[in-house]
Amino acid sequence: MVVLTMNFKSILSLIIVAFISILTGCNETNILSLSERSIIYCSEGSPETFNPQLSISGTTTDASAKQLYNTLIIYTDKKNTLGPSLAKSWHVTRDGKKITFYLRQDVKFHHTSYFTPTRLFNADDVLFSFNRVLDKKHPFHQVSGGQYPFFQSVNFTDLVEKVEKINDFTVRFILKRNDSSFLANLATDYAVILSEEYGQTLQNKSTPHDIDILPIGTGPFKLKDYRVGSLIRFYRHDAYWQGKAKIEQLVYDISPRETSRLTKLLANECDVSSYPIAHGKITERSDLKLESITSLNVGYFGFNTKKEPFNNKLVRQAISLAINKQVLIDTIYQGQAARAKSILPKTSWAYDSETPELGYDPIRAKSLLEVAGYTQGFTMDLWAMPVQRTYNPNALTMAKLIQADLKKIGVEVKIVSYEWITFLRRLSLGEHQSFLLGWNADHPDPDNFFTPMLSCSSSEKGSNPTFWCNKEFDQLLKNALSTTNISKRKSYYAKAMRIINEEMPLLPIAHSKRFQARGIDVEGNILEDFGGISFYQVTKKPKKIQYEDLLEPGKAEKVSN
């Protein structure tokens, strides 16, 4: 005879276990919690807009580009091969001046509480999206300010003569000249396709600005809710043309303070965290993992060349010579970055090992200041980013180190910082003297480091806060884009790098890795080699119910004969 000797709590625990087992057996999917069907991403800042056409900010592209939209073409593999997206194929004429795209015919736009599409994606949407940028008379060109930083920086309007509709699913770009980076620029996060029908609806309602704050795209997620400075909530786009995402909900928990993101990560309130600190603490945890990619980027110290004293090349050189870059790398990047010799990282095919690097020489720096007429030094401001970015994980601390370096040569530094969106806006207005910023490549073509960062066009309306414009430098960039000969292009870019190192509109500091932390139950690639992050292929393993956890330790009685 078998005798079961069990107390009341043990019996109750077994009843609970049996009940849960019945539920699990009936329908395991239904009892998955909302948490297990969602990803919470602790983000470092609020996006400026939900339209990447309008901003080069990493917080904007991370929160919008690959979540909400698609482009005509994309980079498809580690070899950086251009592949199809909304365009299933394309053809380039021999002279490189006509590019014809053949579009997919089964792509649906988002269906949301604020818009119901009545047709599929077609050529009208491509024309609407690019003519908004190209045509100043387009009804949406001036909406949200009429600035398209990336496109302006690469001289898009000077290059594209027109975009024409051949039929409902064929469009052709006609260029004024051959440009070896044109297709690469169309594969960036900025060349997203908007809904022409949605634009027309908003125009009829006299609410055109909604197109950039209540987005409609063709991407894997659609916007559900946005609370500035707090959160963004995305729902899955179940009719996504590539197949629906593996998670139902994606939430951006906006947490600008790195300590706040770390606390939430350690408390399992975040599934994934951007730009984590305390790497050692994270790697000690068995339920977390730290990951990184070596991305194409550069962190730099820039000068407003339109403001005194930085309109003087000798002053820019002197300040650069006084900064100990190796200390910055050891302290800020903790060994997880390479010292920048030029704006191009060594992984770029156009990198030139013969480019001279301006070293650390405070004695020569002091001498150059005297030649420039600043024997007693001067006072300057240094604007430091308030958020972490791949290229600079702690701009405020870096600013303090630079402040200490420059004090040694008689230059007093006042550190300035603003909330991220305000920082970018005031920087674009040229209110600063100097600044700490950086650049994440949008595609692997080396021109993406030169034209958007330092060309004359980008200094006027684009992404160049140094406001430096050098005609010889610009001509070298044009020469490089006019040929597909790699050797010739490399020669032009080598000369361009030497001009930068002589004129010193900015001091390249580091090429860094991008870090991210996540729970071990989160699977799939999020980080990209260039461009914004993607959650499309990300999934979260459901937690298995451990029945023994329901029993109080030491309370279960033995089964005896």
Q: What is the spatial distance between Cα 505 and Cα 305, in angstroms, rounded to a whole number?
A: 7
Q: Which residues pair with 173 in a beta bridge?
A: 99, 163
pLDDT of residue 544: 56
From residue 153, how far is each of 348, 451, 501 by CA, in Å?
Answer: 20, 6, 21
Contacts of 324 (CB under 8 A, 6+ apart): 360, 401, 405
Mean pLDDT score, 44-66:
93
pLDDT at 10 over 70: no
CATH architecture under which domain 297-513 falls: Roll (3.10)
Mean pLDDT score, 483-492:
91
Mean pLDDT score, 266-270:
95
Report domain 40-254+531-540's class: alpha beta
C-alpha triplet 211, 216, 222: angle, nearest 5°: 130
Percent of the chain with pLDDT over 70: 89
167 or 229, greater pLDDT: 167
pLDDT, one tens digit per residue, over 282-295 is 999 999 999 988 77
Mean pLDDT score, 447-465:
86
Mean pLDDT score, 497-524:
94
Contacts of 8-17 spanning 24+ positions with Cβ under 8 A: 9/552, 9/555, 10/551, 10/555, 10/556, 10/557, 13/550, 13/551, 13/552, 13/555, 13/556, 16/550, 17/547, 17/550
Q: What is the spatial distance between Cα 363 and Cα 340, in angstroms, rounded to a whole number?
A: 22
Residue with tokens 């910082």: 417
pLDDT at 552 over 80: no
Least confident of 5-19, 119-133, 261-275, 439-453: 5-19
425 or 16, greater pLDDT: 425
Contacts of 451-456 spanning 24+ positions with Cβ under 8 A: 451/153, 451/154, 451/155, 451/181, 451/477, 452/56, 452/149, 452/150, 452/153, 452/154, 453/153, 453/343, 454/343, 454/500, 454/505, 454/506, 455/153, 455/155
Question: Widest CA span of the chain, in angstroms?
Answer: 104
Residue with tokens 């870096």: 398
pLDDT of residue 80: 75
* CA-wise closest residue to 149 among 415, 425, 347, 337: 425
497: burial class by Cβ within 10 Å (0-12, 13-18, 19+)?
Answer: buried
pLDDT, one tens digit per residue, over 526-542 is 998 777 899 999 999 87
pLDDT at 561 over 90: no
Residues in the chain: 561
pLDDT at 560 over 70: no
Contact yes or no for 49/214 (Cβ under 8 A) = no
pLDDT of residue 74: 94
pTM above 0.85, yes or no: no
Mean pLDDT score, 399-408:
97
Contacts of 106 (CB under 8 A, 6+ apart): 120, 241
Q: Residue 556 — pLDDT band, cuts 50, 70, 90?
A: very low
State the CB neighbour count (10 A cutoff) for residue 416: 17
pLDDT of residue 33: 64
Residue range(s) of every CATH 3.10.105.10 domain in the chain: 297-513
* CA-wise closest residue to 62 among 73, 46, 77, 76: 46
From residue 131, how far is each of 135, 166, 168, 310, 389 by CA, in Å?
Answer: 5, 15, 16, 38, 32
Residue range(s) of every CATH 3.90.76.10 domain in the chain: 40-254+531-540
Mean pLDDT score, 217-229:
96
349 or 261, greater pLDDT: 261
C-alpha triplet 200, 202, 206: angle, nearest 5°: 115
pLDDT, one tens digit per residue, over 147-194 is 999 999 888 999 999 999 999 999 999 999 999 899 999 999 999 999
pLDDT of residue 28: 44
Q: Residue 6 — pLDDT band, cuts 50, 70, 90?
A: very low
pLDDT, one tens digit per residue, over 73-118 is 998 866 678 999 999 999 999 999 999 999 999 999 999 999 999 9
Question: Tokens representing 196?
Answer: 């022409």
pLDDT of residue 22: 43
- What 3-state DSSP class applies to 456? helix
pLDDT at 271 over 80: yes
Contact yes or no for 245/535 (Cβ under 8 A) = yes
pLDDT, one tens digit per residue, over 325-373 is 999 999 998 878 989 999 999 888 899 988 888 889 999 999 999 999 9
pLDDT of residue 32: 52
Q: Residue 493 — pLDDT band, cuts 50, 70, 90?
A: very high
Average pLDDT of the chain is 89
Q: Residue 66 — pLDDT band, cuts 50, 70, 90?
A: very high
